[in-house]
Amino acid sequence: MGVGLYIHIPFCKSKCMYCDFCSFSGKENMMMEYTHALSKEILIAGRGRSIETVFIGGGTPTYLSLEAWELIGQSLRELNIKDKAEFTVECNPGTIEVDKLNMLKKIGVNRISIGLQAWQDRLLKGIGRIHTKDQFAESFKMVRAYGFNNINVDIMFGLPNQTLKDLKETIEEVAKLNPEHISCYSLIVEENTPFGKMYERGELKLPDEDLEREMYDESVRLLGENGYKQYEISNFSKEGFQCKHNIKYWKAEEYIGCGLAAHGYLDGVRYRNEENIKKYIKIVNETGLSTVESYKNTMKDNIEEFMFMGLRMTKGVSEDEFYNRFGISIWKLYEEVINKFIKLNYLEYKDRHLSIKSKALGISNSIMCEFILDKER
């Protein structure tokens, strides 16, 4: 089985109010120096691996210059990337240009993920987005006209001052554009973000818990009515357009992480890269890699990750795959907790798969916590 490859681009025109990812604006002067180091790391980290999926995220990858993209493309061409591999690049409206789309096609990109978040300009302004809904629609049509037939759109609910009507309009307007995939995320207010600081000061007007749950339920219903089948807590797709790269994460499969603060999982080891850009560049130029922390998973870690991530998917976890990986029956470890949630009508056991019922996906985190094992194995 091949691995996934994640590549991180930390640069943004402007950082959103809610974002706690490793990204920043105002460091454009470091783009080429960073990309030279990144391209070196991609070559070394990816050498000798069979790569099934590539995902370039950020930040805003399409904020990079054409020269930077050419460097990344040169490194990728040296790797063993399988034919017809899924190759995704994230982009934001306002950073999409014809010459960049041409470059993305040239290096093999076949899936574009566009960040919208909301259809209402007042909400976009309130969360720090630098585009309008019209700029998003224009960018989407440009990507489609350029021949990309696998497009994802990111939307969010639970935003400050967002109403249920706003969310319905967002879903309906996006569905009219007919993307192949829609990701629908709940806002999470993180510490050390502008929203986190506003929340601490009592300045952030958020939907209450009941309204946020109603928003989630309405999202699932509306997306389903528009032909988008839910396959993970926050992800919906047309038939045949599930995100293969993200499924690798949810199935606890291996992936390479390249770039600033990127994480990876290879040969049973989880690792994290340097998150200071100057240190990252220095380390990669000296050693070729930028790993600053690594951890060899225990059997307990592997089992818990398999359960936590697998239960995010509507298909759930396979009893047979669990046994093949760990050499023990899922029932021997989890019979009590499984039966508890089946009786509560939160879990379903069908066709040798265990899954969270659709009505309980909104409380999935509480359910998953019950699958923490008590002792090392």
pLDDT digits (tens, 9 = 90+) for 85-107: 999 999 999 899 999 999 999 99
Instruction: Return the SS3 of 320.
Output: helix
User: pLDDT tens digit string along 33-71?
Assistant: 999 999 999 999 999 999 999 999 999 999 999 999 999
d(CA 313, CA 115): 22
Prediction pTM value: 0.95
Q: Are residues 82 and 199 in the same domain?
A: yes
Say which CATH number the domain at 180 has. 3.80.30.20
Instruction: Return the SS3 of 316.
Output: coil
Q: Average pLDDT of 173-187?
A: 97
Q: What is the CA radius of gyration of the chain?
A: 21
Task: Please tell me the predicted confidence (pLDDT) of residue 125.
Answer: 94
151 φ, ψ (degrees, to nearest 5): -120, 135
Let me know if residue 346 belongs to a domain.
yes
Let me know if residue 258 belongs to a domain.
no
* 137 pLDDT higher than 60: yes
Q: Are residues 142 and 200 in the same domain?
A: yes
- Note down the domain range covering 13: 3-250
Let me know if residue 285 belongs to a domain.
no
Task: Please tell me the predicted confidence (pLDDT) of residue 376.
Answer: 43
If you average pLDDT over every residue of the chain, what do you get?
94
Let me know if residue 322 belongs to a domain.
yes
Task: Provide the pLDDT confidence category of residue 361 given band limits of 50, 70 and 90.
Answer: confident
Q: Are residues 169 and 91 in the same domain?
A: yes
Let me know if residue 376 belongs to a domain.
no
Which residue type occupies 66?
L
| CA separation, residue 81 to residues 42, 71, 128, 161, 187 (Å) | 12, 17, 36, 44, 34
In contact, 12 and 187? CB cutoff 8 Å: no
Task: Please tell me the predicted confidence (pLDDT) of residue 377.
Answer: 40
% of residues, the chain, pLDDT over 90: 86
Give the end of a domain, one of 218, 250, 282: 250
Task: Provide the pLDDT confidence category of residue 362 given band limits of 50, 70 and 90.
Answer: confident
Let me know if residue 113 belongs to a domain.
yes
* 276 pLDDT higher than 90: yes
* 310 pLDDT higher than 70: yes
What's the number of domains the chain is made of? 2
Judged by average pLDDT, the poorest of 153-167, 250-264, 360-374 is 360-374
Q: Are residues 28 and 119 in the same domain?
A: yes
Let me know if residue 134 belongs to a domain.
yes
Q: Are residues 48 and 179 in the same domain?
A: yes
Give the end of a domain, one of 250, 266, 282: 250
Q: Average pLDDT of 72-84?
A: 97
Q: Are residues 225 and 314 in the same domain?
A: no
* 221 pLDDT higher than 80: yes
| CA separation, residue 23 to residues 57, 58, 174, 309 (Å) | 10, 7, 26, 25
Say which CATH number the domain at 350 has. 1.10.10
Let me know if residue 319 belongs to a domain.
yes
Q: Are residues 334 and 227 in the same domain?
A: no
* 12 pLDDT higher than 80: yes
* 328 pLDDT higher than 70: yes
For 8, the token pair is 């991180």
* DSSP-derived pairing of the beta strands 317-318 and 291-296: unpaired
Q: Are residues 191 and 336 in the same domain?
A: no
Q: Are residues 84 and 194 in the same domain?
A: yes
d(CA 347, CA 190): 30
172 φ, ψ (degrees, to nearest 5): -65, -40
Give the end of a domain, one of 250, 285, 310: 250
